[in-house]
């Protein structure tokens, strides 16, 4: 499985924020109800991390209204011993 960061933007309007939060909460999905929100800092997005087999599978867990605008990024971690391999890969 791959770990994905899902970022879901919405408009900078009070009613849009309220609607987005309500839709997420009403899904009852563990992922949606535990999303992190940036609205209080004027960054109108929700974020959460999931482990899925593909980006398509990650997108499919979103409420339909947000699937088109979401950004889904595959994440990876690095260890110190990975640095040389990365360097070689980037040098071609």
Residue found by looking up tokens 């990024």 in the block: 73
Nearest to 3 by CA among 78, 61, 71, 72: 72
CATH number at residue 17: 3.30.70
Neighbours of 4 (CB within 10 A): 21
Cα–Cα separations (whole angstroms), residue 91 to 1, 78, 79, 87: 28, 18, 19, 6
The string of pLDDT tens digits covering residues 13-55 is 999 999 999 999 999 899 899 999 999 999 999 999 999 999 9
pLDDT tier for residue 86 given thresholds of 50, 70 and 90: confident
The number of domains in the chain is: 1
The pTM (predicted TM-score) of the whole model is 0.85
pLDDT tier for residue 92 given thresholds of 50, 70 and 90: low
The string of pLDDT tens digits covering residues 53-68 is 999 999 999 999 999 9
Range of the domain at 58: 2-91
The dihedrals phi and psi of 47, each to the nearest 5 degrees, come to -135, 145
């Amino acid at each position: 499985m791959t770990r994905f960061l899902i970022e879901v933007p919405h408009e900078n309007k009070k009613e849009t924020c309220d609607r987005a939060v309500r839709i997420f909460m009403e899904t009852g999905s563990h992922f949606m109800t535990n999303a992190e929100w940036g609205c209080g800092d004027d960054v109108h997005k929700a974020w959460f991390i999931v482990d899925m087999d593909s980006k398509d599978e990650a997108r499919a867990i979103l409420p339909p209204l947000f699937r088109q605008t979401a950004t889904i990024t595959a994440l990876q971690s690095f260890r110190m011993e990975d640095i040389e391999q990365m360097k070689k890969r980037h040098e071609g």
